Amino acid sequence: MFVAMNNFNVVPGKGEEFERIWRDRDSYLKEVAGVIRFALLRGDSEGEYISLSTWESRDAFFAWMQSPAFAAGHKGSSMMGILESPPHPKMFEALLAEEYANVSA
């Protein structure tokens, strides 16, 4: 399993706009081979966000980055004036992955 993250620092007061852009965007991930899940995470500190995607493999992630689906999903999505700086990508290979179905209602 491979995990890719982008760390975002959003300008103070622009969090709702940032979240709206993500909610309203056209996402093509669910149609991409090798993707397992996606999450947009909001941190405890104002303006702290992470996009987190989980993949079957590093190769699947990089194939998506070179695909028409990636280009379509990222076209026209300017964050100018919303982000304090460009996102900081981080990538990880899973050494241990456990899932639990102990979910309470």
**For the segment 16-42, what is each residue's pLDDT rounded down to a tens digit?**
999 999 998 878 888 889 999 999 999
What pLDDT is recorded for position 97? 87
Q: What is the mean pLDDT of residues 33-62?
A: 95
CA distances from 40 to 37, 44, 73 (A): 11, 13, 15
- Decide which of 97 and 59 is more confident: 59
Give pTM, 2 decimals: 0.83
What pLDDT is recorded for position 13? 95
Q: State the architecture of 2-93 in CATH terms.
A: 2-Layer Sandwich (3.30)
